[in-house]
Amino acid sequence: MKIGIVCPYSWDVPGGVQFHIRDLAEHLIRLGHQVSVLAPADDETPLPPYVVSAGRAVPVPYNGSVARLNFGFLSAARVRRWLHDGTFDVIHIHEPTSPSLGLLACWAAQGPIVATFHTSNPRSRAMLAAYPILQPALEKISARIAVSEYARRTLVEHLGGDAVVIPNGVDVGFFAAAEPRAEWQSGDARSEGGTIGFIGRIDEPRKGLPVLMRALPAILAARPETRLLVAGRGDEEEAVASLPEAMRERVEFLGMVSDADKARLLRSVDLYVAPNTGGESFGIILVEAMSAGAPVLASDLDAFAQVLDLGAAGELFANEDADALAGAAIRLLGDPQRRRELSERGTAHVRRFDWSTVGADILAVYETVTDGAASVAADERTGLRARLGLARE
Amino acid sequence: MIETLIWIAVAVVAIGMYLSWTAGRLDRLHTRIDAARAALDAQLLRRASVTQELATSGVLDPAASIVLYEAAHAARQAEEEQREVAESELSAALRAVFGEPEQVEAVKEIPGGEDAASELAAAVRRVPMARRFHNDAVRAARALRRHRKVRWFRLAGHAPFPLAFEMDDEPPVALADRPVS
């Protein structure tokens, strides 16, 4: 099958959607499909052979933060050329509502279009205002995919219609096979159950490190040998500022880590804590932690509860409640039996998120929409001349 | 005077272009519904065929075979008006027979059973997908057709008002759960 994938965000900037598209494209290529990804990228950035650059993305304030987006005549022309040259059987657009390549591709293409909705924004005024503008483009989409039940609900509320839920994929084997690192494991038997892991932007409050920092004194009071390992970008001084001086040495910052080190960290820790306070539509990190066999303790966001099978595959605590977090963490760290149980359940549960399953589901969607339809073509809007019957063809 | 006429002409042309564009939109939606309906039909037919094949293969006990055969046969032969009911009954029959993982395991053990089981699993997973895509297209078309501009100017022409396909498509637990492959 010839598949075109449209990525709305800059390929140079790491992000959940970009990683998802990269893994999906590579998975499909391994299965023998022809895949081309259209993504914004600087012209100097080295790109994998399957990525086509749609030009540089422009930083624009959008939706409360600065997003790097593509629009304008030049981008529209590149999208059109990509569609024309690609002769795809199906195109798969990610985030079609963001004012970037996704929307442009939706506008410019016809034929079987599949779209994945990643975010689950609460109903915003901008969305309401944009609805009449978006509708003609969105109604071209033959199949909608939401990454979680939660994302699907927001989609139904905002735009009406329906979507199938296919979760984000994870290479379970990669995480399961990673080698633990001794210095990230709890040392001797005495301090067994002694390392807590956290991965995420330090200076992004929504990732929840401040909640964990508020819970840490209670955890250290109960289990003084505990160490907290933090991997992620941000100001380390500021992050520990709220902690008493003596406790700061129990927190180790690892900075940005590679994928391999991330897997090894998750394999090593005794407990993975995800204290995110909101803005999550899926929670890929939880799936990665479970793949690596780490017991997970997460805030009870809708998206997280879904991923953790409503608490069966990992424990949940009341969102933003540092005391609840501390209580649960102390209990889990002192209970190897329960941690082993969570780890086993997690390992069984994550199989549904493995690329082999997720990829098969996405391919099933492609096949369903291509079954009854012709291939993708550039949407040549019928000109006035043609409509009046004057075109010479 | 002339100026007013020119303005009126410009307005009429603009409205005409807008209506023409809307008609194009509606036409595209109808094409999408047709494609989605064809895909749904294909999936339903595929599900019924695999079920019938399994029912006649002698793998299942006679009672289960008869239940499945009857349901699949009825679904394939159903008139358009009874289609939704017949397909729902096939879903119920499949759930009754393949409710237990043991039954699926038993099918997988016989020669060729692995293929049949995975084909049935694929079919019961794709029916809800195809139906959702179809009904989504129907909803979009209906929303546009209810609009004043479409009704007043009869932009939909003689195309029939699109109807959603409503059926019980809940797959059997043992088959819907991820195949261990």
Residue-wise pLDDT tens digits, B73-119: 999 998 888 999 999 999 999 998 888 888 888 888 888 778 888 88
Residue A120 has pLDDT above 80, yes or no: no
The CA-atom distances, in angstroms, between A255 and each of A196, A214, A235, A262 are 16, 21, 10, 11
Angle A228-A234-A237 from CA coordinates, rounded to 5°:
65
- The ipTM is 0.85
Q: What is the per-residue pLDDT for A101?
A: 85
Angle B84-B87-B91 from CA coordinates, rounded to 5°:
130
Looking at the domain assignment, is residue A246 inside a domain?
Answer: yes
User: Average of pLDDT values for B147-159?
Assistant: 81
Do A199 and A322 belong to one domain? yes
Do A176 and A212 belong to one domain? yes
Do A301 and A312 belong to one domain? yes
Q: What is the per-residue pLDDT for A392?
A: 43
Work out the pLDDT band at A124, boundaries 50, 70, 90: low
User: Model-level pTM greater than 0.90?
Assistant: no
Do A271 and A345 belong to one domain? yes
Amino acid present at B25: R
d(CA A53, CA A6): 11
| DSSP secondary structure letters along B77-134 | H--GGGHHHHHHHHHHHHHHHSSSHHHHHHHHHSTTHHHHHHHHHHHHHHHHHHHHHH
Q: Does B11 touch chain A (CB under 8 A)?
A: no
Residue-number span of the structural domain to which A327 is assigned: 172-352
Q: What is the per-residue pLDDT for A393?
A: 38
d(CA B92, CA B86): 10
State whether A356 and B143 contact (CB < 8 Å). Answer: no
Residue B180 has pLDDT above 50, yes or no: no
Looking at the domain assignment, is residue A386 inside a domain?
Answer: no
Number of Cβ within 10 Å of residue B22's Cβ equals: 17
Mean predicted lDDT score pLDDT of chain A? 84
Q: Does A208 touch chain B (CB under 8 A)?
A: no
Does residue A68 contact residue A59 with C-beta atoms inside 8 Å?
Answer: yes
Do A212 and A339 belong to one domain? yes
Share of chain A above pLDDT 70, in %: 88
Residue A191 has pLDDT above 60, yes or no: no
Residue A388 has pLDDT above 60, yes or no: no
Do A305 and A374 belong to one domain? no
State whether A160 and B135 contact (CB < 8 Å). Answer: no
User: Average of pLDDT values for A212-218?
Assistant: 90
Do A362 and A275 belong to one domain? no
Q: Does A385 touch chain B (CB under 8 A)?
A: no
Residue A271 has pLDDT above 80, yes or no: yes
d(CA A391, CA B17): 17
Looking at the domain assignment, is residue A389 inside a domain?
Answer: no
Residue-wise pLDDT tens digits, A239-263: 888 888 888 888 889 888 888 899 9
Looking at the domain assignment, is residue A21 inside a domain?
Answer: yes
Q: Does A152 touch chain B (CB under 8 A)?
A: no
Looking at the domain assignment, is residue A264 inside a domain?
Answer: yes
Closest CA to A151 of A283, A37, A22, A39: A283
State whether A139 and B139 contact (CB < 8 Å). Answer: no
CATH number at residue A308: 3.40.50.2000
Q: What is the per-residue pLDDT for A244?
A: 84
Q: What is the per-residue pLDDT for A65?
A: 62
Work out the pLDDT band at B179, boundaries 50, 70, 90: very low
Residue-wise pLDDT tens digits, A326-365: 999 999 988 888 999 999 999 989 988 999 889 999 999 9
What angle separates helix A149-159 from helix A125-138, to the nearest 10 degrees? 90
Work out the pLDDT band at B160, boundaries 50, 70, 90: confident
Q: What is the per-residue pLDDT for A35?
A: 95
Mean predicted lDDT score pLDDT of chain B? 87
Do A320 and A249 belong to one domain? yes
Residue A383 has pLDDT above 90, yes or no: no
Q: How many domains does chain A have?
A: 2
Looking at the domain assignment, is residue A392 inside a domain?
Answer: no
d(CA A108, CA A105): 5
d(CA B115, CA A287): 30
Q: What is the per-residue pLDDT for A188?
A: 54
- A340 Cβ contact list (under 8 Å, min separation 6): none
Looking at the domain assignment, is residue A121 inside a domain?
Answer: yes
* Residues from chain B contacting residue A356 (CB–CB below 8 Å): 181
Q: Does B8 touch chain A (CB under 8 A)?
A: no
Work out the pLDDT band at B181, boundaries 50, 70, 90: very low
Do A231 and A127 belong to one domain? no
Do A118 and A161 belong to one domain? yes
Which range has the worst mean pLDDT, A3-12, A96-105, B45-54, B86-95?
A: A96-105
Do A190 and A150 belong to one domain? no
Closest Cα in chain A, distance from residue B100 (Å)? 19
Which residues 98-137 of B have a C-beta within 8 angstroms of A?
122, 125-126, 128-130, 132-133, 135-137
Q: Does B25 touch chain A (CB under 8 A)?
A: yes
State whether B43 and A368 contact (CB < 8 Å). Answer: yes
Closest-CA residue of B relative to A379 is B28
Beta bridge partners of A38: A6, A52
Q: Does B56 touch chain A (CB under 8 A)?
A: no
Do A219 and A73 belong to one domain? no
Work out the pLDDT band at B7, boundaries 50, 70, 90: very high
Looking at the domain assignment, is residue A385 inside a domain?
Answer: no
